[in-house]
Copies of this chain bind each other. A is one copy, B any other.
Amino acid sequence: MCHTCQVTSRDISRPVCLLGLGLIGGSLLRDLVADGHPAFGFNRSPSGTKSAQSEGFDVSSDLAATLQRAETEGALLVIATPMPAVGSILAAIREHAPSCGITDVVSVKTQVLDLVREAGLEGQYVGGHPMAGTAESGWQASRTDLFKGGAWVVTFDHAVDAPQGPSQEWIDLWTDVVRMAKSVGAEVIPTRVNVHDAAVARVSHLPHVLAEALAIVGDNGGALSLSLAAGSFRDSTRVAASSPSLVRAMCETNSEALIVALDEALALLQDARAHLSEDPPNLEELVDSGYRSRIRFEARSGQRRQGDSVSPSPISGRPVLRLNPGGPDWVKMLEQAESLGARIEVF
């Protein structure tokens, strides 16, 4: 349940069908079922399917049958596979569940929207991206409450791009996707796909690239370096332990935006190198600016503190905007929320 606006899964107007039961898809299935919402799913690996079935979940390894059931029940399809599988999943949806609304939880959005457009499905698609961990993966890593307090991006490109404006059907789909994210405790942040991809290149994909490089340079120092490595090295390389195939899928499918972020980092590091070679070495520019940026991050978002609050729910650092989907100026409000990184409530 969303603590600020009381949205529960009962507000979602249709069953939910998870296509993929890894960390994200599996955790979403757990939360929805725990909340009593009708939800079922498909998983390619029979072992993951069996594990989920043995816990009582209504899941299958038969994609066609799962999609046909979704079509019959008018379910909301959630594509929760890694990026490389999205194209074939969309083809199967066109064949077996052509009238279902579709969302996804893939960490890069431009490339998914391109595939959706190629499949001619953009009028029944709303992109999503829950900002949840990637260091573990698979059904066995899934758990309840994974999304609580985290950001869940919901895209709105179709509301801007559709020549006559979006259909009421699409607006209802968009609203259901927002409600699903809120029902599992996430904070919904609306963006367009390219704006999302540029932002996550900075705060998610670049951290992975830097962590990989740092892990290698530390390791190059041999046994002594690894023996002396303490908190700063441990925390800064943590995400290098993520599954290499997931890291590559994220970074490679968002290469254009990642190059922009990486070039900014390279320029800062080359400047730092030049200043370190001066006599005397002087890192004032980098260090003062980095410190201010980090403090701004702590103040602005992410770092929730219970503080002296009597409320049992965490306090969000994000501003909030309330809007009525399809109402006057709602697209303008979505753009405003996007530029503020604001969470939204729908009424």
Contact = CB atoms under 8 A, between A and B. Distances in A.
Interface of A: 131-134, 150-151, 153, 189, 191, 195-196, 198-200, 202-204, 206-242, 244, 247-248, 251-252, 255, 258-259, 261-266, 268-270, 272-273, 276-277, 280-284, 286-298, 300-303, 318, 338-342
Given A244-B291, A283-B248, A302-B230, A214 B224 contact: no
Contacts of A238: 232, 235-236, 294
A131 B132 CA distance: 31
Contacts of A288: 244
Number of copies: 2
Contacts of A338: 224
A203 B226 contact: yes
Contacts of A210: 210, 213-214, 236, 269
A224 B339 contact: yes
A196 B226 CA distance: 12
Nearest to A153: B228
Contacts of A261: 217, 221
Main SS of the interface on chain A? Answer: helix
Nearest to A205: B232
A111 to B, nearest CB: 11
A134 B233 CA distance: 13
Given A226-B301, A273-B263, A202 B217 contact: yes
A342 to B, nearest CB: 7
Given A248-B284, A263-B273, A276-B255, A289 B216 contact: yes
Given A213-B269, A218-B297, A151 B230 contact: yes
Given A202-B218, A264-B220, A277-B255, A272 B227 contact: no
A195 B224 CA distance: 9
Nearest to A187: B227
Contacts of A233: 203-204, 207, 297, 302
B227 A342 contact: yes
Nearest to A258: B276
A230 B214 contact: no
Contacts of A294: 211, 215, 237-238, 240-241
Given A204-B233, A216-B264, 14 more contacts: A199-B221, A202-B225, A203-B225, A206-B217, A224-B339, A226-B301, A227-B302, A232-B239, A234-B302, A240-B290, A241-B291, A252-B280, A255-B281, A263-B273
Given A272-B262, A297-B218, A228 B286 contact: no
Contacts of A258: 276
A308 B19 CA distance: 38
A287 B244 contact: yes
Contacts of A268: 212-213, 216-217
Given A209-B286, A217-B202, A252-B283, A228 B269 contact: no
B272 A218 contact: no
